[in-house]
Amino acid sequence: MMLTVLLTPITVFLLLALVAPLRRSGRPAAFISILGALGTFGAAVQTWVLVDRLDAPIQRVWTWLPDSQGALATVGYLADEQSAIMILLVTLVSLLVQIYSLGYLSDEPAPAIGRYYVYQSLFAFSMLGLVLAPNLVQLFICWELVGLCSYLLIGFWYKKPSASRAAVKAFWTTKAGDVGLLIGIVLLWRHTGTFDFGELQQMAGAGLVGVDGLALITFCIYLGAAGKSAQFPLHIWLPDAMEGPTPVSALIHAATMVTAGVYLLVRMAFLFALTPDVLLLVAWVGAGTALMAAILACAQNDIKRVLAYSTVSQLGYMMTAIGAGFASAGFFHLLTHGVFKALLFLGAGAVIHAVGTNDITHMGGLARRMPQTMIVFLVGTLSLAGVPLFAGFLSKEEILAGVWAGGLTGPFVMLLMGAFLTAFYMFRVVFLTFFVKPAHASGHGHGHAPHDAPMTMGLPLWVLAAASMTIGIYFMLHHPAEAVEAPGWLAPVATGVALGGIALAWATFQRQIINAESLARATGPLRTVAAHGFWVDEAFVAVYRGILMTLAALVGWVDRYIVDGVLNVISAWTVSGGDGLRRIQTGKVQDYVLAVGAGVVAILWWLRGTM
Amino acid sequence: MGLSAYLALAAVIFSIGLFGVMTRRNAVGILLGIELMLNAVNINLVAFSRFHGDVTGMVLTVFAICITVAEVALGLAIVILLFRTRRTAMADHVDWLKG
């Protein structure tokens, strides 16, 4: 059953990738892929039920690289409480996104649709392989594979220069972190002699993992997670990744792949617990990322970029919770966020599909034209803003409680400010998109009035909206047992902050009591800074260019003066030596005879003693 | 007269021949020098043959004289060809092999 989860998507991938006519046929390929995703989802549900009933992890490993003492590396699966519920999220969102894409990409040519579903199936396999990985080696391989899928899908419209540039940027930025992860894994192996999660956990539990040098290892692993999960300053790729099709953003850049970093840290939490310094760093960087991305989201007019920054921000929340030592809270937020952020992206996709633009200032008044989309988008927004009864409320509150309990006052305040801004920028989007009259009357993309999305796109939206509501209400009633005991004032404060943000957005964009322009001006220099994304990109370019140019100048100098110099000297010697030797070859036979005679005399002189 | 007298004569003739080869500008002169050197060797061979009572040296000398005749014929033919094509028989004018 567990193998079904892994083998179904890879079979679909191989089938579609190798049988070219099937792939080029487009929609049949899509149906096969969706059928595969459905089967995978079914198997994932069974797995989850099984793990829940057994109340014990199911593990199976095969030897991959044999060694004299046992196996050096194994492949297999490990379905425990965390991975079982994670594959449920992955397969659910993957299935819904694949159904949704059928409508979203209906205008694409058939081969492009086939190609899209090939990538989707490969992604599903790699992500599930990552989640179910019983050891770090398999995890790393799948980690790189999802990075590859992300690259391929961001660059899906590869003829668009901005899309291919964004794909390359995403690949390299995450790769920068991945190098850290690889180093961390190898160092950890040298430190402990195993890649296996179970063995590592046992060793850590028995206190057999030496603390000396462990901080470096956990830091390297965190680097990988920071790249994948878009932590400052490696977050720059995620907003650009929005060049890909919107369903891809929903699946990869909101719900699943970007959370891989958080998932890795949750998996390795027992190890990170031994290095409190690194945990502190994780928390501070996470909180900084959460607040910074929230500020940036307020300055964006592209609906997808707002959502992208919001994803960065929420990933920051999860990281902060892990840094505070409450990995389960971060993991809980990962799950709820996966559901409602996928919902938001798919809703935004429906809007973009109908209107033909990403710019929220060009939208407006869509509530009447697209009531269904409006309702589900609102559910997602309320969830993200952290309003009670919705999925995001509890997980966010748990994070805040955890950070408070961890004694991290600074990050706690930053997260609270972030929560306020989250509510503000999300409702800014809602009001500008669905309610106010459009400021710029622009031509609509499809040449007719925008309307609700077709069935294939509508169904996933409703499923996700229902899931968001269900999770929210369910956990409201059955508070998870392992949750942190939150101080009594926290829930009202968190709710109040969220409602405050909503009220400010309402007053600014709906009622227009507060002039948006003067509000922006009131933030002063922060506005300029936010408009430039804190100059992180520019800083990267400057540093990169500085290092590269210095290095290039150095290499150029060495090449020009040392390598070329040595070669030039040797060639000059050769030329002058040849020139000198040329002179003794006069072409006159008598000179040669003289030389022979002189040679004979010289030899005789040399041999004189022996005669 | 002992063996050394013959050998001394041969050495002198050889040296004269070598000197001629080295200094003569005319190709015919060089050929004459070579003849002298070869005949100096022949003198050596005959002298050793005579003093050791072994005819092999004499046989070899006859053989060498025959070879010498052929060599001179070939050499002179080359000189004539050279003179026809280059209008000169001076060896130092012929330096096509100069590097």
Structure tokens at B20: 């001629």
Q: Is residue B29 part of a domain?
A: yes
- Quote the minimal CA–CA distance from B63 to chain A in Å: 25
* Contact with chain B for residue A18, Cβ under 8 A: no
Question: What are the CA-CA distances from residue A561 to residues A547, A567, A575 (Å)?
Answer: 21, 10, 20
H or E segment at A296? helix A276-298
* Cis ω before A233 (30° cut-off from 0): yes
Q: Do B30 and A587 touch (CB under 8 A)?
A: no
* Contact with chain A for residue B4, Cβ under 8 A: no
Using the predicted structure, report yes or no on whether residue A444 has a pLDDT greater than 60. Answer: no
Q: Are A367 and A374 in contact (CB under 8 A)?
A: yes
Nearest CB among A582, A593, A594 relative to B99 is that of A582
Could you report the per-residue pLDDT of A255-300, keeping only the tens digit for each?
Answer: 888 889 899 999 888 888 888 888 899 999 999 999 888 888 888 8
Looking at residue A460, what is its pLDDT?
Answer: 86
Could you report the per-residue pLDDT of A85-133, keeping only the tens digit for each?
Answer: 888 899 999 999 998 888 888 888 888 888 889 999 999 999 999 999 8
Question: What are the CA-CA distances from residue A450 to residues A101, A356, A373, A434 (Å)?
Answer: 18, 9, 11, 12
- Mutate which: A583, A588, A601, A604, vs B, most B CBs within 10 A: A588
Q: Do B22 and A590 touch (CB under 8 A)?
A: yes
Could you report the per-residue pLDDT of A527-542, keeping only the tens digit for each?
Answer: 777 777 777 778 888 8
Q: Is residue B37 part of a domain?
A: yes
Question: What are the CA-CA distances from residue A346 to residues A140, A380, A408, A453, A463 (Å)?
Answer: 29, 10, 35, 10, 11
- Quote the minimal CA–CA distance from A567 to chain B in Å: 25
CATH number at residue B60: 1.10.287.3510
What percentage of chain A reaches a pLDDT higher than 90? 16
Q: Which residues of A114-140 are buried (b: 16+ CB within 10 A; e: fewer)?
A: bbbbbbbbbbbbbbbbbbbbbbbbbbb
Could you report the per-residue pLDDT of B28-77, keeping only the tens digit for each?
Answer: 898 999 999 999 999 999 999 989 888 998 999 999 999 999 999 999 99
Please report which confidence band the pLDDT of residue B10 belongs to, taking 50, 70 and 90 as the band edges: very high
Could you report the per-residue pLDDT of A75-86, keeping only the tens digit for each?
Answer: 888 888 888 888
What percentage of chain A reaches a pLDDT higher than 70? 96
Could you report the per-residue pLDDT of A291-326, keeping only the tens digit for each?
Answer: 888 888 888 888 888 889 999 999 999 999 998 888
Looking at residue A204, what is its pLDDT?
Answer: 84
Q: Is residue B97 part of a domain?
A: no
Could you report the per-residue pLDDT of B50-60, keeping only the tens digit for each?
Answer: 898 889 989 99
Using the predicted structure, report yes or no on whether residue A211 has a pLDDT greater than 80. Answer: no
Number of domains chain B is built from: 1
Nearest-by-CA chain A residue for B24? A590
Looking at residue A594, what is its pLDDT?
Answer: 87
Please report which confidence band the pLDDT of residue A207 belongs to, taking 50, 70 and 90 as the band edges: confident
Q: Do B91 and A593 touch (CB under 8 A)?
A: no
Using the predicted structure, report yes or no on whether residue A445 has a pLDDT greater than 60. Answer: no
A229: three-class secondary structure by DSSP: coil
Write out chain A residues lying below 8 Å of B23, CB-based: 590
* Contact with chain A for residue B1, Cβ under 8 A: no
Q: Is residue B98 part of a domain?
A: no
- Quote the minimal CA–CA distance from B57 to chain A in Å: 23
Please report which confidence band the pLDDT of residue A440 belongs to, taking 50, 70 and 90 as the band edges: low
Nearest CB among B21, B30, B95 relative to A586 is that of B95
Write out chain B residues lying below 8 Å of A586, CB-based: 95, 98
Nearest-by-CA chain A residue for B98? A587
What mean pLDDT value characterizes chain B?
89
* Contact with chain B for residue A590, Cβ under 8 A: yes
Looking at residue A443, what is its pLDDT?
Answer: 46
What mean pLDDT value characterizes chain A?
85
Q: Are A303 and A360 in contact (CB under 8 A)?
A: yes
- Quote the minimal CA–CA distance from A599 to chain B in Å: 14
Place of tokens 């390598």: A563
Give me the domain span that covers residue B12.
Answer: 3-91
Q: Is residue B96 part of a domain?
A: no
Count of Cβ atoms closer than 10 Å to residue A526 Cβ:
14
Nearest CB among A584, A587, A594 relative to B95 is that of A587
Size of interface A-B (CB pairs under 8 A): 36
Q: Is residue B8 part of a domain?
A: yes
Q: Do A588 and B92 touch (CB under 8 A)?
A: yes
Q: Which A positions 496-515 lie with beta carbon below 8 A of chain B?
A: none
Count of Cβ atoms closer than 10 Å to residue A409 Cβ:
10
Kind of pairing between the strands at A58-66 and A71-79? antiparallel
- Quote the minimal CA–CA distance from B24 to chain A in Å: 9
Q: Are A312 and A288 in contact (CB under 8 A)?
A: no
| DSSP assignment of A2-29 | HHHHHHHHHHHHHHHHH-HHHHHT-HHH
Q: Are A291 and A415 in contact (CB under 8 A)?
A: yes
Q: Give mean pLDDT, residues A471-495.
A: 73
Structure tokens at B63: 């053989």
* Contact with chain B for residue A587, Cβ under 8 A: yes
* Contact with chain A for residue B70, Cβ under 8 A: no
Structure tokens at A351: 């809007």
Q: Is residue B72 part of a domain?
A: yes
- Quote the minimal CA–CA distance from B78 to chain A in Å: 14
Q: Do B18 and A581 touch (CB under 8 A)?
A: no
Q: Is residue B99 part of a domain?
A: no
Q: Which residues of A480-519 are buried (b: 16+ CB within 10 A; e: fewer)?
A: eeebbebeeebbeebbebbbebbebbbebbeeeeeeeeeb
